[in-house]
Amino acid sequence: MTMPNRNLPDRVATHLRIGVVRATVRSQPRRFRKEHAALYAPFRVSESSDSPITIDVVRKRITSWPCPRFEIYINGRMIFAPTRQEQILPYVEWAMNWEVPRVMPEYLQLHASSIEINGSGVIFPGDSGNGKSTLALGLLSRGSRYLCDEFAMIHSESLALHPYPRAICLKRPSFAIAERLGIPVNRSQSYLKGIKGFVSFINPLSIRANAIGRTCPIRHVIFPKYTQGATPNLMPITRAEAAFELHRLCFNVFGCDKPSLDVLTRMIRGAQCHRLVSGDIDATCQLVENLVATQPAQLARTA
Amino acid sequence: MTATRTAIPISESAKPLRRTNVTVEELDDEALIYDSVTADTHRLNRTAYFVWRACDGRTTPRQIAESLTKSFEVSLDEATAHAERIVGEFIERGLVFVDPLSEG
In whole angstroms, give the CA distance from residue A12 to residue A10: 6
Q: For chain B, what is the radius of gyration of the CA atoms?
A: 13
Q: Side-chain half-sphere of A15: how many Cα atoms within 13 Å?
A: 8
- C-alpha distances in Å from residue B94, one per residue of A66, A85, A211, B4, B90: 58, 52, 49, 17, 6
Q: Residues spanned by CATH 3.40.50 within chain A? A: 107-301
| Amino acid identity at A48 | S
H/E stretch holding A233 reads strand A233-236
Contact B40, B32 (CB under 8 A): no
Q: Where are the alpha helices (DSSP H) in chain A?
A: 30-40, 88-103, 132-141, 175-180, 239-248, 260-268, 281-293, 297-301
pLDDT digit string (tens) for chain A, length 303 residues: 666 655 555 678 899 999 999 999 999 888 899 999 999 999 999 876 678 999 999 988 766 666 668 999 999 999 998 888 888 999 999 999 999 999 999 999 999 999 999 999 999 999 988 999 999 999 999 999 999 999 999 999 999 999 999 999 998 888 999 999 999 888 877 777 777 778 899 999 999 999 999 999 999 999 999 998 999 999 999 999 999 999 999 999 999 999 999 999 999 999 999 999 999 999 999 999 999 998 665 555 544
Q: How far is CA B40 from the centre of its chain?
A: 17
pLDDT for res A54: 94
Contacts of B43 (CB under 8 A, 6+ apart): A240, A241, A244, B1, B30, B31, B32
Partners of A120 in beta bridges: A117
* Best to test chain A binding among B26, B34, B41 (most A CBs inside 10 Å): B41
CB contact under 8 A, A261 and B44: no
Task: Check pLDDT > 50 for residue B3.
Answer: no
H/E stretch holding A275 reads strand A272-278
ipTM of the complex: 0.84
Q: How far is CA B77 from the centre of its chain?
A: 16
Partners of A191 in beta bridges: A199
- Region of B94 please: left (phi>0), alpha (psi -120 to 50) or beta: left
CB contact under 8 A, A259 and B27: no
| Amino acid identity at A180 | R
In whole angstroms, give the CA distance from residue A100 to residue A107: 10
In whole angstroms, give the CA distance from residue A226 to residue A249: 18
CA B12 to chain A, closest CA, distance in angstroms equals: 31
Chain B residues with CB under 8 Å of A247 CB are 32, 34, 41
* A98 interface with B at CB cutoff 8 Å: no
Q: Side-chain half-sphere of A191: how many Cα atoms within 13 Å?
A: 22
Chain A residues with CB under 8 Å of B40 CB are none
Contacts of A5 (CB under 8 A, 6+ apart): none
- Give the dihedral sign, CA A294/A158/A39/A198: negative
Instruction: Band the pLDDT of B100: cuts 50, 70, 90.
Output: low
- Supply the pTM of this predicted model: 0.89
pLDDT for res B77: 94
CB contact under 8 A, B43 and A268: no
CA A239 to chain B, closest CA, distance in angstroms equals: 6
Asked if CATH classification 3.40.50.1260 holds for the domain at B16-97, the reply, yes or no, is: no
pLDDT for res A8: 56
Of A238, A248, A259, the CB nearest to B23: A259
Domain boundaries, chain B: 16-97
Partners of A69 in beta bridges: A60
Q: Side-chain half-sphere of A54: how many Cα atoms within 13 Å?
A: 14
* DSSP assignment letter at A207: T
CB contact under 8 A, A239 and B30: yes
Of A240, A259, A264, the CB nearest to B30: A240
| CATH code linked to domain A107-301 | 3.40.50
* Helices vs strands, H then E, count in chain A: 8, 16
Contact A123, A112 (CB under 8 A): yes
- Give the dihedral sign, CA A252/A253/A254/A260: positive
Encode A65-114 in three state secondary structure.
CCCCEEEEEECCEEEECCCCHHHHHHHHHHHHHHHHHHHCCCEEEEEEEE
Neighbour count for residue A95 (Cβ, 10 Å): 23
* B32 interface with A at CB cutoff 8 Å: yes
